[in-house]
Structure 1
Amino acid sequence: MKTKCFFVCFLLALLSSCNNDDANFETVTVAIPEVLSMSEFRKSVSVKDPQIIEELGKIYAYENYIFVSDVAHGIHVIDNTNPESPQAIKFINIPRNEDISIKDNFLYADSASDLVVFDISDINNIIIKERLENVFVEHSLQRPAEADFIDWGSVDYKSDMVVVGWTLKEERRTIDKNSYVDNFTIEAASADSRASDNVGTGGSLARFQIVKNYLYTVSSHEMTIFNISDLTKPTQTSTFYAGNNIETLFYAENYLYIGSTDGMYIYDLKNAEAPEYVSEFIHWTGCDPVVVDGNYAYLTLRGGNNCGQQDSVLEIIDISDKANPTLAARHILENPYGLGVKGNRLFVCDGNAGLKVFNKENPLDIKQIGQFKNIQSKDVIPLKNTLVMIGGNSLYQYEYTDNGVAHLSTFSLN
């Protein structure tokens, strides 16, 4: 009997110990960096046949082509000669690419700390013309959203290496609430009238803008400017602090508008090589693309996750006095990303709520006149004859109508 009681007590103690151990552990998702040496990294730029997209990034339009970025991997080139039936024709493999801009058949793309120049005059024979090394002092690769930790100890990371991606795995670890990492920034070694130009058009999420003979680029805190008078041999003119937590860059009527998580910065381009800070409109923390039309700036603020904890809204800012921008109106949205304007129409990509179309004839009292539901919308470019939008690994196109837009085609990038 004593033996039986002892055995029962032993089991209870063992179970109690297991339960206590479980309370101290959790299953987490760990991101393991995938790295290349800088020499291998720079050699890996290439032009390939069409590929399946991995993660939808940004959108850019130039002549009859649409360029869709694949986050940190490169650019999908789509022939849009017939918007009702677009065709994928090439993939430009550019590791750690985030943005592009095009002028007169020369495509400028970032690749981690470098700027790479391509000649796309023959789209079937794209040629690398130039690479400016270490011109972007600051560049970051955000950890995957589903990852809780970054495991640096699993790789032999050296200063001449570049992180090009992640491998995810699950691990059982001791709970440590203070060790979570949201993102990281790699510090790289540093060397320290538009309408008439044959320049492409980016979406509202763009960080690159070409204005006449200059390429303006922004990172999270800095603006870097390149003189592209010689399209094949750009030269870096300056890099300077331009704002906090910068996300987007938009050009209108000789001003640059910088969208950040904290506000909107306005810079005057009367001196093209030295943009002059004019003012800042401060708002609550939120992801913030901005577009401008006339005396008003339209910006979306997306709350939740890493973007902030406030509501998601569309804000309309009166910029008639550039030195004193003021809030003119605010409208609640669901999960907004990019936006665009054309004439009296305002197009807003409201995430899972789809594409929303507003009449902005009176900017202080805009009216929703249409919505395309059951699609994921991320960014939009209002072209001359069609509206181009990306979302959910698809390219959507719409034709303009008196009442808004009508669906024209859907092209899957998968």
Structure 2
Amino acid sequence: MKINRVFLLIATCLFLSCSNDKDYEYVSVATPITVTSAELRSSIEVQSPKSIVQSGKIYAYNQYIFINDVDKGVHVIDNRNPLQPTIVNFLKIPLNRDVSIKDNYLYADSGRDLVVFDISQVNSIEFVGHVQNVLENYQTIDYPENADYFNWEGYNYEEDIIVGWDIAVERREIQEDIYYTTGAEAANDGGGNTGSGGSLARFKIVDQYLYAVDINKINVFDIQNLETPVKVKEEYVTWESETIFYQDNKLFIGTRTGMYIYDISQPSSPTFISSYDHMKFCDPVVVDGDYAYVTLRTGGSCMDGELQMLESRLEIINISDIYNPQLEETYIMDEPYGLGIHNEKLFICDGASGLKVYDKTDISNLQLLQNFNANDAYDVIPMQDKLLLIGGNTLSQYNYTATGIELISEFTVQ
């Protein structure tokens, strides 16, 4: 009889537990890992060569190549022998994505700050200083896609900078009417001895000015005194501005909703000319003569979770009437990122589908010349004598040929 009572008690407890579990669920909660602005600034330094974690954008200057390690800094590569590039050093720059160089001064973003290095002696680069709080306080660290909730308790928007996420699974009581935070809601520079960036660049130097695009505007810096840039203007563009390209006194801004064109005849004061709108995509742009070439990439990170039925694509826009850009041609792509142009050749980094080389002589009938399996091709820089490609932590270099390009070398930063 006593055993029966014990069994009944256990069964009752199990039943109640199962019943209660109906009122609970297991969710992933992301808590931001933060540092203060002071901590971030004090950590900037020149270090010995490091292995790369995640390759980002590339920049070429004289005989050197600068490879961004996403949010960590910049690897400096000696490319005097393209067959055997070597790592010189590593610039530790937290929350860095972009660089631009003029007359041996390197400018880079570090969260909200613009930082400056003297690279006149590449083997002994010197940190010059930073201009504080001149870039929009936008979130550079990607939001984790598998998080159901975000824990903002104790987070100070004004002072704290997110450098990572701590994700934990928690058992929480189910609430019917609750708001789930599941996403991120909360070519050549000109003038002087400058370098070359790819189509994904947000920095562009033109003569005595540096133009830096942040999440919604163009920031204009006077760099006549190379050591001490001075912010002289900010011009609002639109939310989710991403890339910048320069041609003929005009800036072409790629955003997730369109291409915006600005006149910089008055260099310190960009003036809006016109725009070309499209549905929400990630959107770098390059320009050649009367045409702008825009790759539009779909995917959750580009659309903030919005549903979109359109496929990734290349759009060719006629800008012969700069005040009225018109779509000329569309070509379906797989996963396009950066792109570039050299003479009549168009290069498109199509993600896992590799590097694609087109003859663009007839824009209404692009001819695919070559398709390289290029380690998740990300961005290219078409230089006068060769093509540089970054993707999958590997720097690839190609020579131009009459019918396309040929591989010179592949170099992984490790």
- How far apart, CA to CA, are the structure 2 residues paired with 1:151 and 1:218? 29
1:273 has 2:273 as partner: no
Secondary structure (helix, strand or coil) at the match of 2:49 reads: coil
Residue number in structure 1 paired with 2:326: 326
The Cα offsets for residues 355-408 of structure 1, whole Å up to 9 and x where unpaired, read as: 111100112221111101262111111112111111111111111111111122
Question: Could you tell me which amino acid in structure 2 is paired with residue 59 of structure 1?
Answer: I
- How far apart, CA to CA, are the structure 2 residues paired with 1:15 and 1:292? 68
Alpha-carbon distance, 1:32 to partner: 3.1
Cα RMSD after superposing both structures: 2.5
Secondary structure (helix, strand or coil) at the match of 1:139 reads: coil
Residue number in structure 2 paired with 1:263: 258
Residue number in structure 1 paired with 2:359: 359
**Contact 1:141-1:184 at 8 Å conserved across structures:** no
Residue number in structure 2 paired with 1:190: none
Residue number in structure 1 paired with 2:408: 408
**Contact 1:247-1:289 at 8 Å conserved across structures:** yes
Alpha-carbon distance, 1:57 to partner: 1.6
- How far apart, CA to CA, are the structure 2 residues paired with 1:109 and 1:347? 26
Question: Could you tell me which amino acid in structure 1 is paired with residue 328 of structure 2?
Answer: A
- How far apart, CA to CA, are the structure 2 residues paired with 1:6 and 1:39? 62
1:210 has 2:209 as partner: no
2:290 aligned residue (268, 273, 295):
295
**Contact 1:143-1:150 at 8 Å conserved across structures:** no
Question: Could you tell me which amino acid in structure 2 is paired with residue 400 of structure 1?
Answer: Y
Alpha-carbon distance, 1:92 to partner: 0.3
TM-score (norm 1): 0.90
Alignment of 1:75-224 (within 5 A): 75-148=74-147, 149-153=149-153, 157=156, 159-174=158-173, 178-183=179-184, 197-224=192-219
- How far apart, CA to CA, are the structure 2 residues paired with 1:203 and 1:194? 10
Question: Could you tell me which amino acid in structure 2 is paired with residue 71 of structure 1?
Answer: V
TM-score (norm 2): 0.90
Residues 19, 64 of structure 1: CA spacing in aligned structure 2 closer, same or farther, 3 A cutoff?
farther
Secondary structure (helix, strand or coil) at the match of 1:279 reads: strand
Residue number in structure 1 paired with 2:42: 43
**Contact 2:59-2:198 at 8 Å conserved across structures:** yes
- How far apart, CA to CA, are the structure 2 residues paired with 1:240 and 1:181? 31
- How far apart, CA to CA, are the structure 2 residues paired with 1:21 and 1:412? 50
The Cα offsets for residues 222-259 of structure 1, whole Å up to 9 and x where unpaired, read as: 11100111111211111121223101111111110000
Residue number in structure 2 paired with 1:346: 346
1:225 aligned residue (211, 220, 229):
220
Q: How many residues align?
A: 405
- How far apart, CA to CA, are the structure 2 residues paired with 1:196 and 1:15? 77
- How far apart, CA to CA, are the structure 2 residues paired with 1:379 and 1:16? 58
- How far apart, CA to CA, are the structure 1 residues paired with 2:257 and 2:174? 32
**Contact 1:317-1:329 at 8 Å conserved across structures:** yes
Secondary structure (helix, strand or coil) at the match of 1:138 reads: coil
- How far apart, CA to CA, are the structure 1 residues paired with 2:391 and 2:172? 36
Question: Could you tell me which amino acid in structure 1 is paired with residue 110 of structure 2?
Answer: S
Alpha-carbon distance, 1:8 to partner: 7.6
Alpha-carbon distance, 1:270 to partner: 1.0
Secondary structure (helix, strand or coil) at the match of 1:124 reads: helix
Secondary structure (helix, strand or coil) at the match of 1:306 reads: helix
Residue number in structure 1 paired with 2:32: 33
- How far apart, CA to CA, are the structure 2 residues paired with 1:68 and 1:174? 47
Residue number in structure 1 paired with 2:231: 236
**Contact 2:199-2:380 at 8 Å conserved across structures:** yes
- How far apart, CA to CA, are the structure 2 residues paired with 1:34 and 1:44? 16
Residues 48, 14 of structure 1: CA spacing in aligned structure 2 closer, same or farther, 3 A cutoff?
same
Alpha-carbon distance, 1:27 to partner: 4.4
Deviates more, 1:327-336 or 1:52-61: 52-61
Question: Could you tell me which amino acid in structure 1 is paired with residue 331 of structure 2?
Answer: H
**Contact 2:191-2:206 at 8 Å conserved across structures:** no
**Contact 1:335-1:351 at 8 Å conserved across structures:** yes
Residues 381, 151 of structure 1: CA spacing in aligned structure 2 closer, same or farther, 3 A cutoff?
same
Alpha-carbon distance, 1:180 to partner: 2.4
**Contact 2:190-2:205 at 8 Å conserved across structures:** no
- How far apart, CA to CA, are the structure 2 residues paired with 1:63 and 1:173? 57
**Contact 2:202-2:214 at 8 Å conserved across structures:** yes
Secondary structure (helix, strand or coil) at the match of 1:291 reads: strand
Unaligned ranges ≥5, structure 1: 186-192
Residue number in structure 2 paired with 1:67: 66
Secondary structure (helix, strand or coil) at the match of 2:346 reads: strand
Residues 184, 92 of structure 1: CA spacing in aligned structure 2 closer, same or farther, 3 A cutoff?
farther
Alpha-carbon distance, 1:55 to partner: 2.1
Question: Could you tell me which amino acid in structure 1 is paired with residue 345 of structure 2?
Answer: R
- How far apart, CA to CA, are the structure 2 residues paired with 1:256 and 1:180? 36
**Contact 2:218-2:234 at 8 Å conserved across structures:** yes
Residues 324, 174 of structure 1: CA spacing in aligned structure 2 closer, same or farther, 3 A cutoff?
farther
Question: Could you tell me which amino acid in structure 2 is paired with residue 299 of structure 1?
Answer: V
Q: What fraction of aligned residue pairs are identical, expressed as a percent?
A: 42
The Cα offsets for residues 119-166 of structure 1, whole Å up to 9 and x where unpaired, read as: 10001111122321111243323434444143333x564743332333
- How far apart, CA to CA, are the structure 1 residues paired with 2:121 and 2:110? 22
Secondary structure (helix, strand or coil) at the match of 2:179 reads: helix
Alpha-carbon distance, 1:74 to partner: 0.8
